[in-house]
Structure 1
Amino acid sequence: MAIKAAEQGRGHGRVLEQMVAERARGFGVDTLLVNAAPEAVGFYERTGWERFDWDPAELVNIAGACIQMRKLL
């Protein structure tokens, strides 16, 4: 997911992140994984995610510069 620059800092990302986490819990998921854009890592860390290398093979093409992260639910 991404939030337009003009809309960042207005709580939209937090709301979407909470909705995803709630939906995942409803499906019995206990861990979320994301390939985060470097400029989004601060957002993810502030919302409870941690850096976690889970599959370096995914870091190719458009995801080449991403940071792998996880959130335990």
Structure 2
Amino acid sequence: MAERAYRLAPPRSRSEWDAYHAIRRRVFSLPRPEEPTDPASHAMLLFLNEAPIGAIQIDDLHNCSAALRLVAIDPSRQGEGHGRVMLREAEAFARRIGCRQAVVYATPEAAGFYAGCGYDEEDWDEVCMGGIVQMLKHLD
């Protein structure tokens, strides 16, 4: 069986940005937004053997927390464990930028996935919309 070589990195080329947006569009039916310009917002692609298979946005909230947003694995690659790898890599990135916890807004359907990755239900945003499960993981 071939070794899986993962890499989480920001999109660098037009084709990588296109892959980032395509994955998000397939998972979330999102229109193509502009690339983030806020230096605290980090768009990232998960590569498997140099093929982009996942997308995530990591926002430094400037309170020792990183928000992991729009966590998406290409639908053709879901259920293979790539989401767990992407979370692990995103958490490592958050540590490198000085964050001590990661937070997510999860749908009720996705809350079990995050719980299995070490996240606990915890209200961290007092203005959160209803129907969303707020989850938090300490990275220390």
Please state which band the TM-score falls in when normalised by the shorter chain: 0.7 to 0.9
| 2:135 aligned residue | 69
Q: TM (normalized to structure 2)?
A: 0.46
Q: Give me the identity figure in percent.
A: 42
Q: Which runs of 4+ in 1 moved over 2 A?
A: 2-8
Q: CA deviation at 1:6?
A: 4.4
Secondary structure at the counterpart of residue 109 of structure 2: helix
Q: Which has the higher contact order (CA 8 A, sep 6+)?
A: 1
Report the secondary structure of 1:56's partner residue: coil
Give the root-mean-square deviation of aligned CA atoms: 1.4
TM-score by length of 1: 0.83
Greater per-residue helix proportion: 1
Larger radius of gyration: 2
CA shift for structure 1 position 17: 0.1
**1:1-73 map, 5 Å:** 1-59=71-129, 64-73=130-139
Cα shift at 1:36: 0.6
Aligned length: 69
Cα distance per residue 1:36-59 (max 9 Å; x no partner): 111110110000000001113122
More strand by share: 2
